[in-house]
Structures are given as structure tokens and as C-alpha cells.
Structure 1
Amino acid sequence: VTMELVEEFSGKLQLLPWGAGIIALLLTVVTVCSLPSLMEYWRRWRMLNSVPGISPCYPVLGNALLLERKGEDFFKQLQFYAEEFRSWPVFKLWIGPVPVMVLYHPDSVEVILNSSKHIEKSYLYKFLHPWLGTGLLTSTGDKWRSRRKMITPTFHFAILNDFLEVMNEQGNILVKKLEKHVDKEPFDVFMDITLCALDIICETAMGRNVGAQKNKDSDYVSAIYRMSDLIQRRQLSPWLWPDFLYILFKQGREHKRSLNILHNFTDTVIAEKAEELKSSKQKKHDNDGNCEESGSKKRKAFLDMLLNATDDEGKTLSYRDIREEVDTFMFEGHDTTAAAINWVLYLLGRNPEAQKKVHRELDEVFDNTERPVTTDDLKNLRYLECVVKEALRLYPSVPMFARTLREDCCIKGYQIPRGANVLVLTYALHRDPEIFPDPEEFRPERFFPENSKGRHPYAYVPFSAGPRNCIGQRFAQMEEKTLLALILRRFWVESCHKPEELGLCGELILRPNRGVWIKLKRRPNAGSE
């Protein structure tokens, strides 16, 4: 027995070098594969050493342990740091192993936004990919250039005019809902405006009326809001970045559920629209162009135009490509606009003199009638336009946006390495006291032509700027002015919160955690103010 044990033991000993060899080989492979990443990480760390930054900063984790998880608290942190480093052109923070350069001076911002090289969206936008794919917001390089060129004609002025009808219809539904609050207790108007904007984008983007204003609890509406919240939380938590880990958490499973609801809805609408298009082409062919369809001209949505769009080689978009763009319109096209309208109402409710000027202008343009808003009206609402611009200065709908550098770059004397992320902190940029004296004051007159002359072109970028500026800017401005005109022709607004009571939450969109609480009074006949 002893001899058998000795032989077995010696056999195992002979296997040890083989096992050790395999482990050593695996470790070598892992080390060799990791070496380029480690070298790149070390290069970034060394190059960024001179850039002022937040401490404490730990290897691999960076400042992640220091950052607040809640949107409101994290945004307060960013505001604090921006003021602390105001005299510097840039400061850095590390989210895990990813370096982020925070910009809040016009000259620094111009270096990035004016460049045709630095057009790649930040790594943090990767978490939008499951929902939006690589559509116009998240794509880069040749794909982005091709899509931008293809989609730009869908925002042509003549096409936007057709959408004004939708904005008037949905705006009137909103006004009727607001009527119930006249001379009553204060109420939170934020969700009312948001649901109206959602109805407008659904009908203009997809040609589908989801009736969000009448049914705010629909699965699709709930999934949109839940998805935005989940993405924001994941962006700030490096331990949730790997997909295989994320799905193990409750948030990961919720993310998957919401994603299925959103994609199923869009897929169904696209399939229906494609079938409609096929049928209408068949009808046209059958009629041989000899008879016009009875009834009024059918309203077109972005989706109709995307189904017909072709690139330089005459290729159409695939269903997946179309879904990316429709989902992108849905994500970008309602929350941002709704936030802007809410901020205008809040600010006018705190500044009665400005509100009186808006009412006077509305009375001059509409002459105390309740007719729909036209494109000519929008051109004549010049003071209201300045009010909207000033609201977007104080409370930009997108309070920050980020890019990833694909090559080294110099910002005001600091060398920033490729692979670093650059965060444009719009909220702080718009509060530069050298460009906007008394930056916390609400002064629409800042945007009168004579007062805007000579202002740095990158001091005010609510819709971003440069090659990747917001393609839907004119659509947003048209919707904001139309809904505001419909609301303010009817009501006098009083705000119930002081700025410090709002609980600003700078997530994907800048929104007040405690809502926008207002009181409404019916306006007396025009001119009585």
C-alpha cells in the first residue's frame, strides 16, 4: 500500500510542472493582451498629470467613489467643481479608468466643437446603444456623415411647416387640461407639458398618435422614462458597465424589459408604415396617375421620409437603420423641448414684468383671437424668442454633453491625450460672468440683436455647435414658441418655488426634481395690463 501511495504521489509531482506551465502560459497571454491597454492608461495618466483635478483619485477607480449616484447630488457636485476651477480653462476627473476633461470656457469649448476631427461621442454614450443603436446621436465617422446628409432634408423648412398643424392640435389639448387648474391650488405642470411634447414627437416622427396626454400610464410612455433613468445611473457606476454583470442586477433586468417594450412598439409602427407605403404605391400604379385620392393631403411623418430616403449610391435604409433613427428622434425630441417650455413658464412666473411684455407681444400678433399659430406668427414673436433663449441659457435642456478624442489635442496650453473624454458643461459655460454679467439674473434683453453682437460664438450652445450641432434645432424652436404662445395667450402664470428649492437634476436632461409648481389665472381681455 505504501509503495502504491508513493508511486501515485510521484506521478502527481510529475504533473505539477505541466500545470504550472499552463498557468504561466495563461498569465503571459493575459499580460501580453493587457499590455497595450495598460501602456495607454499609463500614457494618459502621465500626460494629464499637469491638468488640475479632483482629489482623492485612486488607480483604476479614479474619482468614482467620490461621485454622488443621485442625479441631483451629482449635478450639485459638478456645479461646485466648475466654480472652484472657474479661473482654470479645464479640470479633470476620472470615472473609473476613463479620464474626463470638463470644459466651461468658450475658448476651450471651441477647440472641440469647431473641429471636424473630434466628432466621436464619448464612451458614456455607449450605454445608449442597446436602445438607439448607432443612429445620428451615437454614430461617428463615415456612418454619421452619411446619415446626417441623408436625414438633413427631412428637417427642411417646408416639411416643418406641415408639423405645425400637429403642434397646434396637441397644444390645444394641453390648454384644455390646464383650464381645470385656473384659480385653483398650485400644481406641477412638468408632466403635462412633457406628455404633450411626447404626443407631438410620436405623431411627427412615427405618424402614430399614442394619446400620452390622455393615457400617461401606457407601457410605452412608462418605458421611455424608466430607460432614461437606468442609463443615467449606469453611466456613473463603473461596476455596472460590463454587460455580463449588469444583467445580474435588478436594474439590468428592468433595462431588458423596457428595451423590449420600446423596440417592439417601434418595429410594429415601422412595419405598418412600410405596408402603407407599399399599398399607396400599388394604388398609384393601379390608378395610373389619372385620379387624385379623395380627401385632404395625408400628413407625412419623419418615418415616411426615412422609408423613402436614399444615400449617394441610391441605397435605402434597412429596417434596423430606420429603427435607430426613429428611436433617436423619440429620445431626443420630446424631453428636451418639454424641459425648455417648463423653464420658460417657471421664469416668466417669477418675472412678471417680462411676462407682461410677452403678453403685449402676443396681443399685437394675435389680436385677442384664438386662431392656430402660423409660421408668420412665429417670425413676429421676437421678444418671446429672446425669452426662450434666455431660459435656455439659465437652464439648458442638455446641461452637458461629451466627446471622445481620437487624437491628442491642446486645450489652452494643456496636452490632452487621445482616448480622453471631454465633457462640455453647458450649464456652467452659460454662467460665465465675463460674458453674461450677473449670470443668475433672468434678462431676455441679453439676446436683442444689438446686445448679442460680438459675443463669443461658443459662449452659448444650448443646441451644441459646429459639425455635430442639433439637427432638430428648428423643430424644437418651432414647438417651444407654438406651445408657449397657445398657453400664454390664455393664462397668467405665477411660480411657487425659489430657484434654490427646485432640486436641479442634471441627468440626460436638466429637470427639477421637485417639479415646476405654478398657479394659473385666466388672462383678462388683451391690453388690460
Structure 2
Amino acid sequence: MMVWLLLLLALILRFLTYKISRRKMYKLTSLVSAPLEELPIIGVAHTMHGSSVDRMETLKQFSYYSFESHGIIRMWLFHILYFVLTNPVDIEMILKNCLEKDDLHRFVRNVIGNGGIFAPVSIWRRRRKVTVPAFSPKIIENFVEVFSEQSEILVKRLEPRVGTGQFSIWPYLSSYTLDSVSETAMGVKLHAQENPNSLFLQAINKLLHLVSERFFCLWLQPNWLYKFMPQYATHEKNKNIMHEFVDQVITKKREEIKTKHESKSESENKKDFDFDSYKRNSFLDLLITLSGGEKGFTNVELREEVLTLTVAGTDTSAVSIGYTLVLLGKYPEIQEKVHQELCDVFGDSDRPLVKEDISKLKYLERVVKESLRLYPPVPFIARKVLKDIKLSSGYVLPAGSGIIVSIWGIHRDPKYWGPDAEKFDPDRFLPERFNFEHSCSFMPFSNGPRNCVGYQYALMSMKIALSTILRRYRIVGKEGTLRNPFIKVKLQIMMKAVDDYQVALERRVPKTSDCNARGS
């Protein structure tokens, strides 16, 4: 009996010590507004249960609450503290000073390792110096041919769906982006479009779903406990499929580069790296060479960077293309403006897109940006507060807390986008209208030192695929959704449409009277 009493006293003492050590945190947090759903002890943990749709709805609602609370609210999940931010001035400070990703990212790192997006700062800084040159505009523009070729395959695969009514275009888009990314990132033709049941693509989709589950289900988070869960076997099986495939590609690529180098004269080997000689090579080629060849990135580091680009690039571009197509189906007058621009550039010709065409598609670019504003593929960014930080708004965020930057909220705040912030209006991005004081008012690819290095790459992939589809087909939205920008979404790391992007296609019949023949 005495032992149990002592144990109970020890637990009470430990609890009180823990509470006292967090007095400052509680004091600072009490100054920040709480959502209406907050309860004693558990905070808002009960709102995070349910489906991926429910969780997305909760975080959207919290974002809207923050509009009325100076762009910040608190969010307790039992003893874990987060702040939801939508004030672009405060967010700019956070993204510049709080570079460490939140602990939730460990579940992604379990799958793809310390790739640039998710790596701890100590690893990220060193790798960023290598990856940034690999994403230079001079390098990226040489991938236009790959995107153009893959988008032509995409429209051919869509041909049987013309006139058949509503269908999910998601499988077509995700296989297009995977084929494009695998060829540009690894130099490998996966042919996922011809084989939609690609094991690699299935592995990516299954792992993203499992990781998203762990984000929000507290009982799935401890690694020791997760090993006893039924999801663990599926998790490990698909992780191994991804790792083994990429490891094989890296091994072959190293052998290929070594053979190339051995065939050069000794004097040539002493020259500095020549971008032009590698301009048609994949990012894997560039990462190996820019990092120092055999003395540079290890095979594991290469795998982590390639997997990060492959997973992020496949889903980001696919969801963004999907949202844009659905929105164009809802707004036929905007779709017709896009088509007229395509007529002006291509005329009645069916020639493939070339890099000189991209800069001419100015209205399409505004459409893509407006789609990214309303439906950013990554709607929330999570960062860790390592030491107290005072925001421009006057609030102090305590060390040990986490921050959720709501890109969804920033992009829909009437203070910055006007009373029609929920409306789909590409002309917001006309040069004379888009002139924000705060760069963080529009940030679909994040902002600050850890922004997405591949944003130009992603935009290029989107514009090429969209232009190729819209030259041949008219997108028809669901009946009853005309001029309604609302798309029901779910949160699975990235934000995706619940209905997997349902559209209908009609064939466009080329008419010289409708198209300016300048592009023919």
C-alpha cells in the first residue's frame, strides 16, 4: 500500500513540476483567442477525429476564426500547443526565423528520409546549396520537351472519355505527372500513363494516405506502437517498393556517369562543370555532379532528394491541374478566354508546344495562379518554435509551441483579397491589380528561405498539360455547379478534391474562323 501511495505522490509531483515549468507558456497563450470548440484539458483534440474531410473542414474553420482575431488563434491538442496564423506580416517573420519543421514531419521522413522539404535545418542548409542551381531557369526550360511529349500522351489517353459524361480525371493526371517527374528527376521512363497500375505510383498514393493518418491520429504516432498496428505492414511494404526502385536507378546512373567520365581526356576532367553539356540530363545527374560526384552525396542522400522531388512533384502538379480543370468547367466564359489565347498562339495547328510558346500564355498563367490561390495543394505549413519569438502584431509565441501557417486562410482573407475573395477571378493577377504590400499574401509554394525550389518547374508542368488538354477538349462541369467555385476537399498531406476531380469532356472541332492562324 505504501509503495502505491509513494508512486501516486511521485506522479502528482511530476505533474505539478511539469505545469510550473510551463507557466510562461500558459501566460502567453492566454492572451491569444481560442476557437469556440476549445474544451478544458483536451483543447480542440476532439475536432481532429473523423475523416480527412472533417479535419480539413476544422482547419478551414479555425483559419476563418483567425480573421477576426488579428490573424492568430491558439489550438491546444491536450498538452501540445499550436498557433494558427493568417496574418501575412507575422507569417513573413515566422518563415524567415522559424526554419525548423514541426515534429509531425517525422512521419514523412520515415518514408522518404531527409529530403530538402522535410529535413532538419542542419541537413537542409548543406543540400539547399546543391539543389538550387539544379532548379535554375536555364536547366528547367530544357524539360519543356518532356512535359510536352507526356501531355500529348495524356490527351490521347483521355480521347475514349470524350462524350461519355462525368468521370474522375485524377488517375490520368497523376500518371502524367509521375511520368514527367520520373523522366526529369531520374532520367527514367516509367510509362505510368500506359500502365496506370504502376506499383511505384500505387506505393506513393498508399504511403501518403498512411502518413496523413499518423498526422492526426495520436494513437498511430508512437513508432513502437505503430509496429503493432495493421497499417504498419502496408507502410513498410510500399516504402520498400519505392526505395528499391530508386536505389536501382541511382546505382545505374552512377555507373553511367563513371563510364562517361572515364571516356574523357584527363584535361577535360579538370574543367569546371558545364551546365550546357548536361542540359538534357535529369536532376539526378545534376545532383550527383554538383554535389561532387563520388565524393558528394551518398546513395542514401540521393535517394532522399530524388524521392522528395518525385513524391512532391507528382502530387502537387496533379492536384493543381485537377482543380484548374474543375474550375474552368464551372466558369465556361473563362475557359473560352483561355481557348482564344491558345488559338492566338497555335492557330488551327496541332503542333506540340515548344518553350517559346509558354511566355505567350499570359491569361492561362493568371488562371493557374487564381486556381492556386483558391486551392493551394499544400494548404498548411507547420513550423517549430525553438525560442520565444515576438511577432509584428505584438503577440509572443513561446518556445516549445508549434505554428500552423494557413495558406488556405491567407489566400481567402477579405482584408487582402476583397469582399469577393471566394470568387474565381483570374484578372486579380493582372499587373495593375496584383500589387500587394506583403509577399506572403500569395504563397502557394511557401515563402522565405525554405520556399519550394521547384515552383517554376511545377508551374511549367501545369501550364503545358492544361494548354494541351484545352486545345483539344472543352471541360464540362457537373450540372448545377455553374459559376460556383466551391470544391469539397480533404486533407491527405496535400489537399485533394473529395470526388477525385470529376469532369466531362467534349471534343473541340478546329474552326479557322474561331482561331487566329498566327500559330499555324
TM-score scaled by structure 2?
0.89
Describe how 1:10-159 pairs up with structure 2 within 5 A. 41-54=22-35, 55-59=37-41, 61-88=42-69, 89-113=71-95, 115=96, 117-159=97-139
CA deviations on 1:30-72 (whole Å, 9 max, x unpaired) are 988x99866554542332122112344344x542233233111
Q: Which has the larger radius of gyration?
A: 1
DSSP-derived class of the 1:50 partner: coil
1:102·1:425 contact (CA, 8 Å) conserved in 2?
yes
Contact 1:171 1:483 in 2 (8 A): yes
Distance apart, 1:391 and its partner CA: 0.5
Instruction: Please say if residues 327 and 485 of structure 2, whose CA atoms lie closer than 8 Å, have aligned partners that are also in contact.
Output: no
CA contact (8 A) 1:491 1:520 kept: yes
Aligned to 2:518: none
* Cross-structure match for 2:489: 504
After superposition, residues 238-277 of structure 1 pair within 5 angstroms as 238-277=218-257
Cα distance change, pair 45–391 in 1 and its aligned pair in 2 (3 A): same
Aligned partner of residue 92 in structure 1, secondary structure? strand
Work out the number of aligned pairs and report it: 500
* Counterparts of 1:305 and 1:249, CA distance in 2: 40
Deviation at 1:488, TM superposition (A): 0.9
Q: Which residue of 1 aligns with 2:155?
A: 175
Q: Which of these residues, 304, 313, 325, is aligned with residue 305 of structure 2? A: 325
The CA distance in 1 between the partners of 2:52 and 2:211, in whole Å, is: 12
Q: Which runs of 5+ in 2 are unaligned?
A: 270-276, 515-520
**2:358 matched to which residue of 1?**
378
User: What does residue 369 of structure 2 align with?
Assistant: 389
Report if aligned partners of 1:502, 1:512 keep a CA contact under 8 Å in 2: yes
Whichever residue aligns with residue 334 of structure 2, its letter is A
Partner of residue 193, structure 1: 173
CA distance in 2, matches of 1:524, 1:431: 37
Structure 1 residue 124: deviation in Å?
1.2
Distance 2:168 2:493 in 1: 21
Residue of structure 1 aligned with 2:340, choices 360, 363, 368: 360
Q: Is the 8 A contact 2:490 2:498 kept in 1?
A: yes
Contact 2:148 2:354 in 1 (8 A): no
User: Are positions 1:431 and 2:412 aligned together?
Assistant: yes
Distance 1:215 1:241 in 2: 34
- Identity, in percent, stands at 34
For 2:430, the aligned partner's letter is F
Q: Which moved more, 1:499-508 or 1:381-390?
A: 499-508
Instruction: Write the distance in 1 (CA, Å) between the matches of 2:7 and 2:164.
Output: 75
Shift in Å, 1:261: 1.3
RMSD after superposition? 2.8
Q: Distance in 2 between matches of 1:126 and 1:271?
A: 27
Q: Which amino acid letter does the alignment assign opposite residue 359 of structure 2?
A: K
Question: Given that residues 321 and 466 in structure 2 are in contact (C-alpha distance below 8 angstroms), is that contact kept between their aligned partners in structure 1?
Answer: yes
What letter is aligned with 2:247? D
Residue of structure 2 equivalent to 1:7? none
Deviation at 1:24, TM superposition (A): 7.0
Query: Which residue of the other structure, out of 132, 137, 141, is the alignment partner of 1:161?
Result: 141
Which amino acid in 1 is paired with 2:85? L
Aligned mate of 2:387, from 401, 407, 422: 407
Change (3 A) 1:226 1:96: farther
1:202 paired with 2:187, answer no
Tell me how far apart the structure 2 counterparts of residues 406 and 518 of structure 1 sit (CA, whole Å): 46
User: Where does residue 517 of structure 2 map in the other structure?
Assistant: none
SS in 2 for 1:81: helix
> Normalising by structure 1, what TM-score?
0.88
Q: Which residue of 1 aligns with 2:471?
A: 489
Q: Which residue of 1 aligns with 2:422?
A: 440
**Poorly superposed stretches of 4+, deviation over 6 Å:** 23-32, 34-37, 286-289
Q: Residue 424 of structure 1 aligns to a residue in which SS?
A: strand
The runs of 5 or more residues in structure 1 that have no matched partner are: 1-15, 290-295
The alignment partner of 2:365 has SS state of helix
Cα separation, partners in 2 of 1:25 and 1:101, compared to 1, 3 Å: closer
Structure 1 Cα separation of the partners of residues 179 and 43 of structure 2: 42
CA–CA distance in 2 between the matches of 1:217 and 1:27? 58
Which whole-Å CA distance do the structure 2 matches of 1:399 and 1:425 have between them? 6
3-state SS of the aligned residue for 1:468?
A: coil
Cα deviation per residue 1:405-463 (whole Å; 9 max; x = unaligned)? 12111232221101211111111211111221201211110000000124532111101
C-alpha deviations, 1:221-244, integer Å up to 9, x for none?
111001001111111112221100
Q: Which amino acid aligns with 2:200?
A: Y
Q: Which residue of 2 aligns with 1:303?
A: 284
Map of 2:272 onto structure 1: none
Q: Could you tell me which of 407, 432, 441 is aligned with 1:459?
A: 441
Distance 1:147 1:418 in 2: 27
The partner residue of 1:519 within 479, 504, 513 is 504
Deviation at 1:173, TM superposition (A): 0.7
CA contact (8 A) 1:435 1:455 kept: no
Instruction: Report how far residue 501 of structure 1 moved.
Output: 7.5
Contact 1:96 1:238 in 2 (8 A): no
Give the letter aligned to residue 440 of structure 1: E
Contact 1:47/1:416 (CA < 8 Å) preserved in 2?
yes
CA shift for structure 1 position 132: 2.0
C-alpha contact (below 8 Å) 2:146/2:184 kept by paired residues: yes
